Amino acid sequence: MLTTGELKDHIEATETDQVVTFVAYTGAEWTKNGLAQFYRDMEPLCAILPQLRLYPSHDEFMAVNLKFPDIAAMDRIAKAAPPLYAYRQQTCFGIGKCTLDTPRGNKSVIKRNFSDASNHVKVMQGPTGDQLKLACFAGERVKSRQTEPEDDEPSARWFHMEYVPTFKTVGEYRVHLCGDNVVSIGISKFVKDKLEVRSVSDDDFAWFSKSQEEQQKKRQELCDFSRYQRTQLLAQPNARKAFESLRVGVRIDIGVSEESPEGRFFGLELTRRWNANQMPAFVLPDPYTEASLKYGRVLAMELAGRQ
């Protein structure tokens, strides 16, 4: 319909004030560079038809794939946050002089933007060939080094982050927000190289305290931290471009700094609702549609109120 002009004719025939094309992005359904090409193909149509809107926008789609806008925003938020929310995993964006304060020989995590889930995440320790993927350098360097372009995505860039041991021992909390409401909380952890996901329980806060009452308080702190992150992200200068869909909902993946009463939560990754695995069979009651229904209602209200 797009290439033949039928889509343009169909939209004009509807005679409505607003037409929204919802772009579901889960990766597997799109061929290589297919979604990026779709946005490029739709741009002329959006220019011709002012009532046509793509959701999410191309700007937010690019921000998600770049990853840097999300990480940089969470860095800024942590710097201005109260002490309880101020812990932050260190990141070096792989540009210029290395900013990662990791002693030589210690573990670090290397990641790539424009990535395919965990396929572009590696834990490295000491000098490895993976370091050649990074364009940053330690100490003084007269001439910068150019990295080899990636075969599947020439514009992709590798960066690295501080390794936090609780990734392996505690796992990641997956907090689903619809607006400011927590819809579900899952926890995931690799067990024998297999990712296991389930609904969170009080026992998942035993690293903080053996008291069930204190565990429940820590769980509430996790919810409060998630809401704080979303509120602060929507207050960022680039929120309209990079975080617009957070108005409707988001999944925030959250880690913990250490297994002790001093352990604090920190944001690991933002996964937008339009490309987030809701993990319904693991965290929601049968028929597993609760999150989708809530999200759909809020999305409809958001789109109807923003012409």
28 is a domain residue: yes
Question: What is the C-alpha to C-alpha distance for residues 197 and 92, in angstroms, rounded to an integer?
Answer: 29
Q: What Rg value do the Cα atoms of the chain yield, rounded? A: 21
Exposed e or buried b per residue across 36-73, where buried means at least 16 C-beta atoms within 10 angstroms of its C-beta: bebbeebeebbeeeeebbbbbbbebbebbbbbbbbbbb
CA 111 from chain center: how many Å? 13
Please say which residue of 162, 182, 208 terminates a domain. Answer: 162
Question: What is the C-alpha to C-alpha distance for residues 106 and 129, in angstroms, rounded to an integer?
Answer: 15
69 is a domain residue: no
Query: How would residue 142 be classed by pLDDT, with cut points 50, 70 and 90?
Result: very low
Top pLDDT among 164 and 276 is at: 164
Structural domain that includes position 108: 91-162
Query: How would residue 262 be classed by pLDDT, with cut points 50, 70 and 90?
Result: very high
83 is a domain residue: no
Flag whether pLDDT at 191 surpasses 90.
Answer: no
Burial class (CB within 10 angstroms; exposed 0-12, middle 13-18, buried 19+) of 142: exposed
Q: Whole-prediction pTM value?
A: 0.90
pLDDT tens-digit readout, 75-85: 999 999 999 99
Shared domain check, 174 and 136 = no
**Largest Cα span, the chain:** 65
What is the average per-residue pLDDT within 214-225?
Answer: 98
Query: How would residue 275 be classed by pLDDT, with cut points 50, 70 and 90?
Result: confident
Q: Which of 50-54, 150-154, 168-172, 181-185 has the lowest mean pLDDT?
A: 150-154
Flag whether pLDDT at 31 surpasses 90.
Answer: no
Handedness of CA 75, 226, 176, 297 (dihedral sign): negative
Q: Which structure tokens are listed for 52?
A: 């046509």
Q: Which structure tokens are listed for 15?
A: 């005679």
Query: How would residue 140 be classed by pLDDT, with cut points 50, 70 and 90?
Result: low
Flag whether pLDDT at 92 surpasses 60.
Answer: yes
230 is a domain residue: yes
150 is a domain residue: yes
30 is a domain residue: yes
Query: How would residue 266 be classed by pLDDT, with cut points 50, 70 and 90?
Result: very high
Q: What percent of the chain has pLDDT over 90?
A: 60
Shared domain check, 227 and 142 = no
Q: Which region holds residue 206: left if phi is over 0, alpha if psi is between -120 and 50, else beta?
A: alpha
Q: How many domains would you assign to the chain?
A: 3
pLDDT, the chain, mean:
88
Query: How would residue 33 be classed by pLDDT, with cut points 50, 70 and 90?
Result: low
Greatest mean pLDDT range, 4-18, 56-70, 115-129, 151-165: 56-70
Shared domain check, 49 and 98 = no
Shared domain check, 286 and 208 = yes
74 is a domain residue: no
Helices (H), the chain: 6-14, 34-48, 58-66, 68-80, 166-169, 212-234, 239-242, 280-283, 290-305
Q: Which structure tokens are listed for 294?
A: 């809530």
Please say which residue of 132, 162, 192 terminates a domain. Answer: 162
Residues 6+ apart with CB under 8 A from 101: 90, 162
> How distant, in Å, are the alpha carbons of 72, 73, 98, 285 from that of 238?
11, 9, 25, 36
Shared domain check, 257 and 157 = no
198 is a domain residue: yes
Flag whether pLDDT at 185 surpasses 60.
Answer: yes
Please say which residue of 117, 134, 162 terminates a domain. Answer: 162
Q: Which CATH number covers residue 301?
A: 3.30.470
Query: How would residue 115 be classed by pLDDT, with cut points 50, 70 and 90?
Result: confident
What's the DSSP call for residue 49? -
Shared domain check, 151 and 187 = no
Shared domain check, 294 and 173 = yes
Burial class (CB within 10 angstroms; exposed 0-12, middle 13-18, buried 19+) of 275: middle
Three-state DSSP state, 237: coil
Query: How would residue 183 be classed by pLDDT, with cut points 50, 70 and 90?
Result: very high
